[in-house]
Amino acid sequence: MFSTTNMQNLMRNVCFAGLAGAAVLSAAFTQAETVEVPVGEQGYVAEAGQLRGKKQEQVTQEMGEPINIQGPVGEPAITRWEYADFFVYFEHDVVLHTVAKKHGS
């Protein structure tokens, strides 16, 4: 009836067909969602955008005194300065990042 070689070929084909079917089903159920955020709502504050890498003294000269200061916390020491429209995050005394405040919709 079936030789060993024929049986091996049949099993190989069945396994291949099963793997191919699983790949097709997996691709059919996998979906990606794209979230688009309007430019005006992306959290960028023009005057704060150029602060990265500056020292606290330079930020005070350019932006004035902050409304509130939190920290330093942790190691490395992270401090957050609050301004009317954004926050400035420092590692030690160097700006890491600025984040716009979310205002009511």
Q: What is the pLDDT along the chain (105 residues), one digit of tens a residue?
A: 556 676 666 677 665 666 666 655 555 556 556 655 554 444 556 566 788 899 999 999 989 999 999 988 989 999 999 998 899 999 999 999 888 887 764
Rounded to whole angstroms, how far apart are CA atoms 67 and 53? Answer: 21
Task: Give the residue carrying structure tokens 């400035």.
Answer: 88
Exposed (0-12), middle (13-18) or buried (19+): which is 68, by Cβ within 10 Å?
exposed
| Predicted TM-score (pTM) of this structure | 0.55
